Amino acid sequence: MDITILSIFPKMFQALNESLIGKAQEKELVNIDVVDFRDFTTNKQNHVDDAPYGGGAGMLLQAQPIYDAMDYVEKKKPGKKRVVLLDPAGKTFNTKMAKDFAKEDQLVFICGHYEGFDERVKDLVTDEVSIGDYILTGGELPTMSMIDATLRFVPGVLGNSFSAEEESFSNNLLEYPQYSRPADFRGKKVPDVLISGDHEKIRLWRLEQALKKTLERRPDLLEHASLTDEEKKLLRKIRQNN
């Protein structure tokens, strides 16, 4: 996978050279380039923003430097691209979107700043995406979050190929509780079923715990979950016992 990020704060993305993403780059599972679109300004002041027509508070990112930066990216990396604009008004990012992004050969993220974008920038993009109903100072942090979530679904990035499938939200269920050694820590004991050695009982316990946690904390997720007959039966049992 090839990822390009357009930002006026390229140093922020040094964090992507660490941990699993850094290792994925070393293994050449993903290539990440950051393009500073300030380098493409044509005015003497090197500004990438200007006041909006019609007046109003704040400054808008201009279309020209972003268009020219995208022209540069296209010449350097020809081919079909999925271009993501970080915008608070966009669709909310989720696991399904991360899985879809992971199937792409080329992703481009355009990070906003200031009050917003010249509307014409949106003609360049395929997706307008937000990470939630709140405002940050720019699109850099949301971009890093999306890249991290997306790369977990790229084969080879995670050490355990099953990890991403078992984590929270992967099937619209929150993750079941997990424990490590020691079995008894300050009087807090690991559930007996987990040290029983009975894999079927462990599987059922984990499934029931995931359903219970989801029902308690995020019942909205169950509205969209495609539950199996086994899961529906366990869910009915949980509801009856509550």
Say whether both 145 and 178 belong to one domain: no
Confidence of residue 213 (pLDDT cuts 50, 70, 90): very high
Say whether both 68 and 122 belong to one domain: yes
Check the annotation: does 134 bind a ligand.
yes
Token match 């696991």: residue? 95
The predicted structure's pLDDT at residue 112: 86
Ranges 26-30, 45-49, 194-198: which has the least confidence: 45-49
The predicted structure's pLDDT at residue 170: 56
Domain count, the chain: 2
Confidence of residue 160 (pLDDT cuts 50, 70, 90): low
- 161 in a domain, yes or no? no
Check the annotation: does 131 bind a ligand.
yes
- 82 in a domain, yes or no? yes
Say whether both 17 and 105 belong to one domain: yes
What is the C-alpha separation between 242 and 232, in angstroms, rounded? 15
Residue 143's domain comprises 2-151
Check the annotation: does 133 bind a ligand.
yes
**pTM score of the predicted model:** 0.81
Which of 232, 227, 222 has its CA nearest to residue 174?
A: 222
Q: Confirm if 165 and 116 have CB atoms less than 8 A apart.
A: no
- 73 in a domain, yes or no? yes
The predicted structure's pLDDT at residue 159: 73
Say whether both 98 and 12 belong to one domain: yes
The predicted structure's pLDDT at residue 164: 55
Residues 84-100, mean pLDDT to the nearest whole number: 94
Condensed to tens digits (0 to 9), the pLDDT of residues 220-241 reads 999 888 899 999 999 999 999 9
Say whether both 36 and 119 belong to one domain: yes
CA dist 195 to 187, 192, 208, Å?
16, 6, 17
Round the average pLDDT of the chain to a whole number and report it: 92
Whether 128 shows a pLDDT value over 80: the answer reads yes
Say whether both 172 and 143 belong to one domain: no
- 158 in a domain, yes or no? no
Whether 168 shows a pLDDT value over 60: the answer reads no
Say whether both 146 and 172 belong to one domain: no
Condensed to tens digits (0 to 9), the pLDDT of residues 30-55 reads 999 999 999 999 988 889 999 988 88
Check the annotation: does 136 bind a ligand.
yes
